[in-house]
Amino acid sequence: MPIPPQIPQREVLEALVRATHVSFLGRSVDPTWLAAFTDELARRGVNESLDEVVTDFIRIIYTSPEAQNRLMTTLGGRGMEAIIAPGLASRPSPLACIGAGCTPRVAGMLKRAGLRRWAGPFDWMTIPAEAVRDAIVDDCAGLLMASEYEPIPMEERPPESDGHLCRHLRLSELYGETIFHHFDPSDPTGYATLERATLRFREALRGLHGKMLLQVVEEDANSVATFADTADMLDRSARGAILVTIALVEGAPPGPFPEMELGQTRGVHRYLRARVISEAQGIAFKDPLDEIVLLRGALAAPQLGK
């Protein structure tokens, strides 16, 4: 069979321009812009690799205001829950999702996806993974120690912040800033809120139903070891619990989309490494695609590495 002739580069570039417009903008490209984009890509292709040219162009179109507005309109119409639901439905057995820190983004992600059914003790907190591990070890006794709470004065809170209400002194000294954002447990009402959340968390860990504890951390030298310690403790003290730790790796992914890989397995527990394309903005990522990839990856993680 004869080898088919190589597709001319210009046809490849034109196909790229058409496909990105249909995929990200939901419309065909204007003929004038098709010619202009193709000429520019061909010019760049003289001195750059095809991978670089393609990746940069996809990123330009995807991050354009038109594409971002269309994405937000799509999400606004369907809701994040509809996008995440197929990943949950594909699981072989029901799974409850519980936020296990380490930033308020985790609770926000689960809530927007319809996966957060009740408030847990780590929701809306900035809390290091080591502090979460200790809370599982001592059944949250240290987290509930009222003598360790220090209200944060208004003048010390970040500008325009609704959070940063209270600091846990002992955990902050041991592992880094441990901050309550949604309520102040140094106040009786706030402490009662934390007690109720802790009680629900304890009951969930001891329940027979399957549960996934999701945490998102900034990867550092201790991340894998802390993941392993937490996983081992859950195996000893909880029923049907799966820990999924997503470690955010420094730097942007080489391509235009978020990337995720399986880093470690420990029994049923999974440690994932991810590179996102946007920075945090409040309790979310600036680009909702990051949130979609992280949540879908977390739900699929227990099936990986088997």
Q: How far apart are the first and last CA of the chain?
A: 41
Average pLDDT over residues 167-193: 96
Same domain, 61 and 143: no
In angstroms, rounded to a whole number, what is the distance separating the alpha carbons of residues 68 and 60?
11
| Residue 213 binned pLDDT confidence (cut-offs 50, 70, 90) | very high
Determine the longest span between alpha carbons in the chain, in angstroms.
81
| pLDDT score at 265 | 95
Q: Is the pLDDT of residue 78 over 80?
A: no
Q: Which of 260-296 are b and which e, b meaning 16 or more Cβ less than 10 Å from the residue's Cβ?
A: beebbebebbbbbbbbbbbebeebbbebbbbbbbbbb
| pLDDT score at 302 | 84
Same domain, 119 and 255: yes
Instruction: Report if residue 2 sits inside a domain.
Output: no
The per-residue pLDDT for range 182-199, each reduced to its tens digit, is: 999 999 999 999 999 999
Torsion of CA 178, 180, 181, 182, to 10 degrees: 160
Instruction: Report if residue 90 sits inside a domain.
Output: yes
Same domain, 93 and 129: yes
Range of 239's domain? 79-303
Identify which has the larger pLDDT, 202 or 78: 202
Q: Decide if 108 contacts 283 (C-beta within 8 A).
A: yes
Same domain, 68 and 124: no
Same domain, 102 and 146: yes
Cα 197 from chain centroid (whole Å): 22
User: Which amino acid appears at position 13 of this protein?
Assistant: L
Identify which has the larger pLDDT, 232 or 1: 232
| pLDDT score at 3 | 42
As a whole-number percent, the residues of the chain with pLDDT over 70 amount to 89
Select from 27, 51, 75 the last residue of a domain.
Answer: 75
| pLDDT score at 112 | 84
The per-residue pLDDT for range 230-286, each reduced to its tens digit, is: 999 999 999 899 999 999 999 988 878 899 999 999 999 999 999 999 888 778 888
The per-residue pLDDT for range 123-152, each reduced to its tens digit, is: 989 999 999 999 999 999 999 999 999 999
Q: Decide if 284 contacts 291 (C-beta within 8 A).
A: yes
| Residue 1 binned pLDDT confidence (cut-offs 50, 70, 90) | very low
**How many residues does the structure list for the chain?**
306
| pLDDT score at 35 | 92
Q: Decide if 154 contacts 170 (C-beta within 8 A).
A: no
With tokens 């959070």, the residue in question is: 163
Q: Is the pLDDT of residue 85 over 50?
A: yes
Split into its structural domains, the chain has a count of 2
Average pLDDT over residues 88-92: 54
Report the chain's mean pLDDT, rounded to a whole number: 87
As a whole-number percent, the residues of the chain with pLDDT over 90 amount to 54
Q: Is the pLDDT of residue 56 over 70?
A: yes
Instruction: Report if residue 173 sits inside a domain.
Output: yes
User: Which amino acid appears at position 74 of this protein?
Assistant: T
Instruction: Report if residue 288 sits inside a domain.
Output: yes
| pLDDT score at 4 | 47
Q: Is the pLDDT of residue 23 over 60?
A: yes
**CB-hemisphere CA count at 13 Å for 162?**
6
| pLDDT score at 132 | 97
- Could you tell me the pTM of the whole model? 0.78
Same domain, 103 and 71: no
In angstroms, rounded to a whole number, what is the distance separating the alpha carbons of residues 119 and 101?
12
DSSP assignment string, the chain: -PPPPPPPHHHHHHHHHHHHIIIIISSPPPHHHHHHHHHHHHHHHTTS-HHHHHHHHHHHHHTSHHHHHHHHHHHHHH-HHHHHHHHHHTSSS--EEEE--SSHHHHHHHHHTT---S--TTTTEE--HHHHHHHHHTTTTTTT-GGGEEEPPGGGSPTT-S---EEEHHHHHHHS--EE-S--TTSHHHHHHHHHHHHHHHHHHHSSS-EEEEEEEE--TTHHHHHHHHHHHHHHH-SSEEEEEEEEPSS--SSSS-EEEEEEEETTEEEEEEE-SS-EETTEESSHHHHHHHHHHHHHGGGTT-
Q: Is the pLDDT of residue 81 over 80?
A: no
